[in-house]
Structure 1
Amino acid sequence: MNVPERIAKLRSLMEEKGIDIYVVPTADFHQSEYVGEHFKARKFITGFSGSAGTAVITKTGAYLWTDGRYFIQAAKQLEGSTVELMKMGEPGVPTIHEFLVDTLPENGVLGFDGRVVSMGEGQDYASIAAQKNGKVIYEYDLIDQIWEDRPVLSEEPVFALNLKYTGETVASKLSRIREEMKKAGATAHVLTTLDDICWTLNIRGNDIEFFPLVLSYAVITMDKVDLYINEAKLNSEIKADLEKDGVVLHPYNDIYEDIKKTASDEVLLIDPARLNYALYNNIPEGVAKVEERNPEILFKAIKNEVEIENIRKAQIKDSVAHVKFMKWLKENVGKMTITEISASDKLDEFRAEQGNFIRPSFEPISSYGEHGAIVHYTSTPETDVELKEGGLFLTDTGAGFYEGSTDVTRTYALGEVPQIMKDHFTLVAISNLSLANAHFLKGCTGMTLDLLARKPFWDRNLNFNHGTGHGVGYLLNIHEGPAGFRWQFRAGEIQPFEKGMIITDEPGIYIEGSHGIRLENELLTCEGEKNEYGQFMYFEPITFIPMDLDAINPDMMTAEEKKMLNDYHKDVYEKVSPYLDTEEKEWLKTYTREI
């Protein structure tokens, strides 16, 4: 079946069930950012393969909402699909909420699979339906009924993360969580988010694309943890360790029936943004609920000393791999055939040489020339192009090492490139360095500091259509809340920076049909001087890879900006050169020279 045929079959099922509009998000049962193959329902029904987007199917139309990272990619992939692209945040484009309010008929029925829709979203849909004197139907996974060769749920084994990597025992983490439960007046805490569960129990797996997570649910009480998981994934040693920490195992899907049996005197701590709608609706009406952000969110964002030291090691490994890759790329482009995919594979070869490499930490972005302007471009055999001199190559990739996850972007000039590309590259470097060198008072958020990255762009009436940075999980989600850099207000995303947070710094510029440039380092949040004005904070870059001097226009830079770049390159050489041979050291010396 092609996409129009799939949509036609879906509409037949909608008619059969009395559904006027059906919503298909990019989600699994756990609100994961990336999902396993089984859960790629939105890709199946639209043909769009990006990691973020929501499809809305009506009786006469089909629509896909996605953000600025994917506008170019989505436009191409939706050609001939009958699915209309809705560019989120663009003038004249309604939000999904606004569209549903306008489109759902009086007495209409809004349908979705309640397991893949968050509690908050589901309540919003129910409110819209109520306004039209209609209702929601959330019991049906209609995509499953038309997806004949749907992949099965992952059965990959679980592995335990040793204390030398986590820096904290399961018992200690549970104790901290239970203290927060007591503060909230809760007797039980329902968890569906995989990174929160894996962090709490010091386990990892291979059930989610790129992120080493395990399909599971958990209910934490004051004396035990009910873990809902496919028990076949656990070896005897892991089972024994979990049992010592009071973990009781249950079949994965049993939580939906078990939650219906919750005693009336229980008080459940739940996170509306991170609990699916179906599970929420299975909680008996008389059970009291405390709706707060999962305490694990902030706990895991603030890395402990063991995690930080491990992350430093992971970053050095990745920096060494990148330096070797940069040298190889610049010396071989034009002399041998190098494509987007083969370049990405080569970088992972250099990573594997560093030891303890598990796999890429997210879907690699390896883009040459005009592909670089597609913010979240993924090279495929159909789009894979050869890298040639005279253009820019952008690589935004990450590594999952046992010592932690990395997220790094570099853009390289291949041979001599046009002046406009050098000017744009220099602008991005100035932006990156300006943010990395921030000194600020404790209490500042990403909304406060994002201006440092945007100002060089806004001064020139330019901008980039994505956030400037995000938190990074420790072998968990590569995009980790609650802190990050962005200039727009978003409710629930205002989190002051705390000592121990790891944040990315990744401004960029994207010229459709020509080139894209992004430079991304990871920053460690540190405490500086404390005086009568308060606690001052600063960022310490922990990624050490040259910003390609072949693409820098020094004439655009102030003396202060040149000093920031020179100081950074001095650190790059000091941190990375001990891991290089004599020839590589000399090469690195050239690419970290003072300007």
Structure 2
Amino acid sequence: MSTYTARLAALRDQLARQQLDGFVVPLTDEHMSEYVGAYAQRLAWLTGFQGSAGTAVVLPAEAAIFIDGRYTLQVREQVSADDWQFVGVPDTSVADWLGGHAAHGARIGYDAWLHTRAWVDEATHALAAVGATLVPVDTNPVDAIWPDRPAPSDAKLAVHDEVHAGRSSADKRAAVADWLTEQKADAVVLAALESIAWLLNVRGGDVSRTPVALSYAVVNADGTADLYVAPEKMTDAVAQHLGNAVRVHDRRDFAPALSQFAGKRVAIDPTLSVAAIPLAIEAGGGTVVPLRDPTVIPRARKNPVEQAGHRAASLRDGAALTRFLRWISIEAPKGGQTELSAAAKLEEFRRATGVLKDLSFDAISATGPHGAIPHYHVTEESSLPIRPGELYLIDSGGQYDDGTTDVTRVVPIGTPTAEMRDRFTRVLKGHIALATAVFPRGTTGAQLDALARLPLWQAGLDFAHGTGHGVGSYLSVHEGPARIAKPSYPGSGPAEPLLAGMILSNEPGYYKAGEYGIRIENLLLVEERSIAGGEAVMLGFETLTLAPIDRDLIDPALLSSDELSWLNAYHARVAAALSDLLAGEERDWLLARCAPIGLA
């Protein structure tokens, strides 16, 4: 019996002890985070799945794992089909599946600290239709059988200086207080870790690759705030920075404090808060007002200081990536390099900047067939040698005090095939179409998504992930609320207008299962555009990322003159910006790779 088969059996035994006929295991934490600490990696521990999004449902005689199109291949590599059914979302929701598989009279458990209230309502309704019941648990049954479950991180909080933040915490809290007054609310509960970090101008080390601290915050209508965080995380510098207007409490006191809002109106973002929070407030006599977290839009719209910081981060990060691209182009054809060794070398180049705080996510270092897995996670067991004739894809980024980067490049190891060049050039055409888009204020990312797909669609091709996601300012590499994706794409949420100051990725791709993957990713800053004679307020994009796009994979015959002009102008800009940061053979290589390409 495999380790994961044994764990599934142990969970079923535990469910029987807790008088449950099923349990739902999401990949999240008490803050509805996308990236979670090791202590909250219940889905990976139970199933072996290493992706960053998914849910499992365990019933007495069957079990299912729910994943979106990014993980269709990965889940089959990492999870046993003998134990688990693979179910695609959004085609089938967890609630709908439960409604079709739970037995009449079944008690299906869930942890109210790991699901939104909307999910609880949806699942409750689906189960009620078949005479089953959704039951909150006092003890998470996965935790009960996880003997060596890691403890939550005890990393210290750190001050995020105003020289990088661009606004003081007092100013941000005053704006939230004004918002509360407008909404006729007494307080707002912030559960999203990025929101708390942004509001208080602090950063942490509790989640791998994301500089946040496990905490909750309550902001009051007078501009004061209550921060709930483990005492051992506090430092004198952070206490002095927060000042008297931010009262600090033990994180364990947060749940009991929710009963103290009797007679008060408390705002909560229903999409970013777990069900346990509003339920506790209502049980204590408070009134929950479902409203969007008031920090979400200000956090997404980078101020001028944050924009300047990201440009500086992009410059040094681009130089590090360029050094790596030269290295891999020379070393990989010799043999001896692997997915892991290449990722380690890129991290080495980034750390050589002297200011890297962390990676922004575990690098997707993928050669050959692994490149066809959009969110592939390389491990000691899975790492492949990088061989001639393959495409090597590297999706990576860095965390710096002044910005968070995310960039993808593809390198041919040897001579690429005509098909590889065709597919790469079509992806490039889509990338350019999005980068050069001009659109009226109020346009959503969903409306722009087709621009990046059209050159692929024209060849009967597509890709099964979003085209772009928001990026934080020394925060999460995936930041809402805006994104560029099909409306039906998992996690898309309501259509969100793009606003000046937002930073989003531009990353169309193509994936041939079992053979190779292609993705070209730069980060874009939404900016206002003035058009002579125009009448509407228009927006466009500034491309922030600076690194060569592999010229050996480009078929100039497929590019229009305008597309070729964009590519040559981009490469001229890359060469001018990075040449002073490189020297000798590295600089010569950069200039050669950025030389103009003529029409075929």
How far apart are residue 466 of structure 1 and its match?
A: 0.1
| 1:29-75 CA distance string (max 9 Å, x none) | 10111111100111111111111100000111011001111111101
How far apart are residue 336 of structure 1 and its match?
A: 5.3
Partner of 2:383: 384
Q: What 5-or-longer segments of structure 1 have no aligned partner?
A: none
3-state SS in 2 of match to 1:456: helix
2:273 is the alignment partner of 1:275: yes
1: CA distance, partners of 2:362 / 2:82: 24
3-state SS in 1 of match to 2:14: helix
TM-score (norm 2): 0.96
Query: Conserved in 2, the CA contact under 8 Å of 1:472 and 1:479?
Result: yes
1: CA distance, partners of 2:278 / 2:132: 20
3-state SS in 2 of match to 1:31: coil
Partner of 2:427: 428
Partner of 2:587: 585
Correspondences of 1:23-172 after superposition (within 5 Å): 23-79=24-80, 82-89=83-90, 94-138=92-136, 139-172=138-171
Greater mean deviation of Cα atoms: 387-396 or 326-335? 326-335
Correspondences of 1:163-182 after superposition (within 5 Å): 163-182=162-181
Partner of 1:460: 459
Partner of 1:207: 206
What is the number of equivalent residue pairs in this alignment?
A: 590
Change (3 A) 1:80 1:459: closer
Change (3 A) 1:492 1:74: closer
Partner of 1:341: 340
Change (3 A) 1:368 1:327: same
Greater mean deviation of Cα atoms: 394-403 or 117-126? 117-126
The letter of the residue matching 1:110 is I
2:20 is the alignment partner of 1:22: no
Moved over 6 A (4+): none
3-state SS in 2 of match to 1:334: helix
| 1:189-218 CA distance string (max 9 Å, x none) | 011110001110111111012111100011
Greater mean deviation of Cα atoms: 140-149 or 278-287? 278-287
2:297 is the alignment partner of 1:298: yes
3-state SS in 1 of match to 2:75: helix
Partner of 2:501: 500
Partner of 1:243: 243
Query: Conserved in 1, the CA contact under 8 Å of 2:335 and 2:387?
Result: no
Correspondences of 1:542-553 after superposition (within 5 Å): 542-553=544-555
Partner of 1:554: 556
Partner of 1:445: 444
Partner of 2:574: 572
Partner of 2:364: 365
How far apart are residue 119 of structure 1 and its match?
A: 2.3
How far apart are residue 434 of structure 1 and its match?
A: 1.0
3-state SS in 2 of match to 1:175: helix
1: CA distance, partners of 2:179 / 2:207: 28
How far apart are residue 89 of structure 1 and its match?
A: 4.0
Partner of 1:3: 4
How far apart are residue 275 of structure 1 and its match?
A: 1.0
Query: Conserved in 1, the CA contact under 8 Å of 2:266 and 2:288?
Result: yes
2: CA distance, partners of 1:241 / 1:133: 54
2: CA distance, partners of 1:134 / 1:394: 47
2: CA distance, partners of 1:328 / 1:45: 39
Partner of 1:187: 186
Aligned-residue RMSD, C-alpha: 1.6
Q: Pick from 517, 533, 537 the counterpart of residue 535 of structure 2.
A: 533
| 1:527-586 CA distance string (max 9 Å, x none) | 011665211111010111111001111112222221121111111111111211143232
2: CA distance, partners of 1:510 / 1:389: 19
Query: Conserved in 2, the CA contact under 8 Å of 1:47 and 1:81?
Result: no
Greater mean deviation of Cα atoms: 384-393 or 539-548? 384-393
Partner of 1:408: 407
The letter of the residue matching 1:113 is D
Change (3 A) 1:380 1:489: closer
1: CA distance, partners of 2:3 / 2:52: 20
| 1:251-292 CA distance string (max 9 Å, x none) | 11211111012222x101011111111222111344222111
Greater mean deviation of Cα atoms: 70-79 or 306-315? 70-79
The letter of the residue matching 1:591 is R
Query: Conserved in 2, the CA contact under 8 Å of 1:184 and 1:290?
Result: no
2: CA distance, partners of 1:103 / 1:445: 37
3-state SS in 2 of match to 1:384: coil
How far apart are residue 135 of structure 1 and its match?
A: 3.2
2: CA distance, partners of 1:249 / 1:436: 44
Query: Conserved in 1, the CA contact under 8 Å of 2:365 and 2:394?
Result: yes
Query: Conserved in 1, the CA contact under 8 Å of 2:282 and 2:288?
Result: no
